[in-house]
Structure 1
Amino acid sequence: MSTRFEQTRLDNGLQVVTESWDAAYTSAIGFFVRAGARDETPEQMGVSHFLEHMMFKGTDKRSADDVNRAFDEAGANYNAYTSHEQTVYYAHVLPERLDEVTELFADMLRPSLRNEDFDVEKNVILEEIGMYDDRPDWRLHHELLEIYYSGHPLGFRVLGTAQTVSDLTADQMRDYFNQRYASDQIVVAAAGRIDHHRLSQNIQQLTEHWTPGHANGRQPASPACPGSTPRTLTDDQTTKHYSAFVCPAPGLEDERRYTAKILADILGDTEGSRLFWSLVDPGLADEADFSYDPNTDGGVYSAFIGCSVDDAERVESVLLETIRSAAEQLDDDELTRAKNKLATQATLQAERPSGRMHAIGSRWLTLASYSTARDELDRLMAVTRRDVLDLIDAFPLEPAAWVRMTPAAQRSR
């Protein structure tokens, strides 16, 4: 498949990056904003995600119903998400509807931020927080990051807490919006059937009134790495035992991230991994996984298990043994299987304009660089057994923070 990459920096600092495919039948576009949980203060925790919701609540010329109706009339597959490092608004459409969706996003990203919408949406988000607080995996993950990063914003909860969201004011949100949604903090990425020159000119006209800002720089991550003594939480609603820990891992700027991704797949993919065969398949655990989560200046591996209370000690022992013995019995066949599986997943994603749009947009926002789908596959397939062993030496697979959740009656365990 022939592709062409182009990039343009507009006069206001906004950047447009595109990957054009002459053979594509659809177009995908995303507005990537450098605004996430790591850009917040403790008092603002959750404001980035709150703003994501508010972008769909209307503008000076559109109501919330108008926004949703416009997407539907364009036949768009659209959504948005917020992470620790970015907020993304995206849509996948037929090429002839790209202009109208681009205009819609440009309008949305200058929202009214009305007090009455703020109050209504606050209740929606508090309900969302409550829903996720009912999930043991989310509660443990949040607790782990808070311990591991010890006050750094990478340990903040993306949704915020019930307290921080309840205390947040509309004026605080507006101040944050003015700082983080400045034109020089935004990358527009598009892939598929794209005319780069036309798109850039269109965005230039739509955003000519946008101005660059003076966003605060990001505080480098410095994990506390407090050690592996587990912290135990109790829950009256659970009847199972859950346990999770994190280990340091390479960041997005580290070429070893490809090796880390493969190692995580070998150890903890939901099917066919070492944890699957040692815990899930024999019925010792209902859930067991080991994943890799990189950020710009660092990353973590996350291990998670769920099992019966009676099997907790044995399951945790097997979990640690499996992770700590990662270097043992690693052969080329196991490595090849993992690489082939990840290559298939990456290729399936790259065959869709939306997949490439997300890839080039996130990479440009965080690393200001471009990589073709072929480049990414080549880097993945080039990983050797020696690379995996060296990675384990550089990032030992020992818990740096560990949290358990048990039924209240089991706290004394």
Structure 2
Amino acid sequence: MGKILHLDNGTPLLYEKITHINSFSMGIYVKTGAIDEKENESGISHFIEHMLFKGTEKRSAKDISEEIDNIGGKMNAYTSKDTTTFYITGLSEHFEIAADVLSDIFLNSTFTEKNIEKEKKVVIEEIRMYEDIPEEKIHDINNEYIFNGNYGKNILGTEESINALTKEKILDYYRTRYTSDNIAIVVVGNLSEEEVLKTFNLYFKNFNTIKKDRIEKKEFKLNAVKNILKKEISQVHLCVNTLGSSYTSENRYVGSILSIILGGNMSSRLFQKIREEKGLAYSVYTFNTVFYEGGAFSVYAGTTKENYNEVIDMIYEEWKDIKENGITEKELVKAKNQVLSSLILGLETTRARMSRLASSYITYNKIIPLEEIKNKINAIDLERVKKYANKIFDEKYYSVTILGDINE
């Protein structure tokens, strides 16, 4: 199990030693994302993620990638609604080089006007790419419709918001969010605690800034709406939504159980009924969207304009059946095994372990033991699932987003 350490300046460092391997994963997790952006800076979190790879005071963009490639490492980053992450994986013997590069891009990126303008073009092409992938685009549209305020913001932003970004805006956001009390450094691998602390204390010795509140947090609200976006494509893509749970809710794992039973695998209820029995969709699955303040429980399906209404009705019918009749003991046992299997098998790499440590700390400000999670999942019974189903499968929470060549 990992442990929470602190650098000399107070920055949290999450550490786990694994002795039977010869590799590591290290990351810096920033508690910032789309929900922290002002109205006129949509996409700025993701844009800064890109900019940190574009050059520092001592390394060019090519130097950064080449130095990690030379040691056989992998470096990447990603942005979510509430977190921005930068990470490197590699062999234990190259830990010092990787730590140097990761610290350098995080602390010393130059944000030149030339690189900013060049990267705007890259990000806009990324936005256009997703515009051309309707099975991806539907999720962005759905979020914008069903969540209020910042919770529904598109992580990538829009062409207009990206073009409107200035160096001043970017640096203001970076300086007020990339601070010692708003990040966590995570290191997992066959490395000594002393070596890890010594290395990051060296690089972060002058990093001691305090996060500033930049926006007023709005109340979390799930909108019960029906929205249709007409687009000339061959399929109809849809998301059907209802109330979900928050990160801190005791029902979070019950939501995972219900998601698996309804659409988590090829033997799930909706997959069997919509695809296997009726042949109405190729892809159908369930998913939970989870924030600290609340969440949504959703079903996605890709179908046709002749059949999309029937698919929506079938989803609602299945929700009603679970609400009224519950689930079977067999379904519960199978779903628990799926959740536990994903949880345990997902920890077989250093990167997965790194992600778990970071997620636990950022969400709960502590590292939750794996046994504690397993016990919570195993404690879920039929009555609790039915009670939760009665709460969330209520028409006052229902919403649907439809993308396709339809008129209504």
Moved more, 306-315 or 393-402: 393-402
Amino acid across the alignment from 1:253 = T
Moved more, 271-280 or 206-215: 206-215
CA shift at 1:193, angstroms? 1.6
Q: TM-score, normalised by structure 1?
A: 0.93
Q: Secondary structure at the match of 1:227?
A: coil
2:145 counterpart of 1:147: yes
Corresponding position of 1:249: 244
Q: TM-score, normalised by structure 2?
A: 0.94
Deviating beyond 6 angstroms after TM superposition, the runs of 4 or more aligned structure 1 residues are none
Corresponding position of 2:235: 240
Corresponding position of 1:359: 356
Amino acid across the alignment from 1:369 = K
Contact 1:350–1:373 (8 Å) recurs in 2: no
CA shift at 1:147, angstroms? 2.4
Q: Evaluate the alpha carbon distance shift between residue 270 and residue 115 of structure 1 in structure 2; reply closer, same or farther with a 3 A threshold.
A: farther
2:134 counterpart of 1:136: yes
CA RMSD of aligned residues (A): 1.8
Give the alignment partner of residue 16 of structure 1, picking from 13, 27, 31. 13
* In 2: Cα distance, 1:26 partner to 1:375 partner: 27
* In 2: Cα distance, 1:213 partner to 1:67 partner: 28
Contact 2:27–2:86 (8 Å) recurs in 1: yes
* In 2: Cα distance, 1:73 partner to 1:358 partner: 25
Amino acid across the alignment from 2:321 = S
2:396 counterpart of 1:378: no
Contact 1:38–1:218 (8 Å) recurs in 2: no
CA shift at 1:256, angstroms? 1.6
* In 2: Cα distance, 1:170 partner to 1:8 partner: 34
Q: How does 1:7-86 map to 2 (within 5 A)?
A: 7-86=4-83
* In 1: Cα distance, 2:21 partner to 2:28 partner: 21
Moved more, 50-59 or 394-403: 394-403
2:325 counterpart of 1:326: no
CA shift at 1:149, angstroms? 2.4
Amino acid across the alignment from 1:16 = L
* In 2: Cα distance, 1:38 partner to 1:269 partner: 27
Corresponding position of 2:291: 295
Q: Evaluate the alpha carbon distance shift between residue 329 and residue 226 of structure 1 in structure 2; reply closer, same or farther with a 3 A threshold.
A: closer
Amino acid across the alignment from 1:172 = K
Contact 1:220–1:297 (8 Å) recurs in 2: no
2:266 counterpart of 1:268: no
Amino acid across the alignment from 1:145 = N
CA shift at 1:181, angstroms? 0.8
Q: Evaluate the alpha carbon distance shift between residue 312 and residue 401 of structure 1 in structure 2; reply closer, same or farther with a 3 A threshold.
A: closer
* In 2: Cα distance, 1:262 partner to 1:272 partner: 14
**C-alpha deviations, 1:132-163, integer Å up to 9, x for none?**
1122233332222222222x211111001111
Amino acid across the alignment from 1:47 = I
Corresponding position of 1:175: 172
**C-alpha deviations, 1:154-199, integer Å up to 9, x for none?**
1111001111111111221111011111122110112232322321
Unaligned runs of 5+ in 1: none
Contact 1:232–1:405 (8 Å) recurs in 2: yes
CA shift at 1:74, angstroms? 2.2
Amino acid across the alignment from 1:248 = L
Corresponding position of 1:312: 308
Corresponding position of 1:368: 365
Amino acid across the alignment from 1:189 = V
Amino acid across the alignment from 2:242 = C
Amino acid across the alignment from 1:134 = D
Amino acid across the alignment from 1:140 = I
**C-alpha deviations, 1:107-145, integer Å up to 9, x for none?**
010211111111111111001101111222333322222
Contact 1:323–1:397 (8 Å) recurs in 2: no
* In 1: Cα distance, 2:26 partner to 2:193 partner: 12
* In 1: Cα distance, 2:382 partner to 2:366 partner: 28
* In 2: Cα distance, 1:311 partner to 1:6 partner: 52
**C-alpha deviations, 1:250-296, integer Å up to 9, x for none?**
11111221111111111111422111001122311122111112111
CA shift at 1:320, angstroms? 1.5
* In 2: Cα distance, 1:248 partner to 1:220 partner: 20
CA shift at 1:217, angstroms? 6.7
2:278 counterpart of 1:280: no
* In 1: Cα distance, 2:216 partner to 2:356 partner: 25
Q: What is the aligned length? A: 404
CA shift at 1:218, angstroms? 6.8
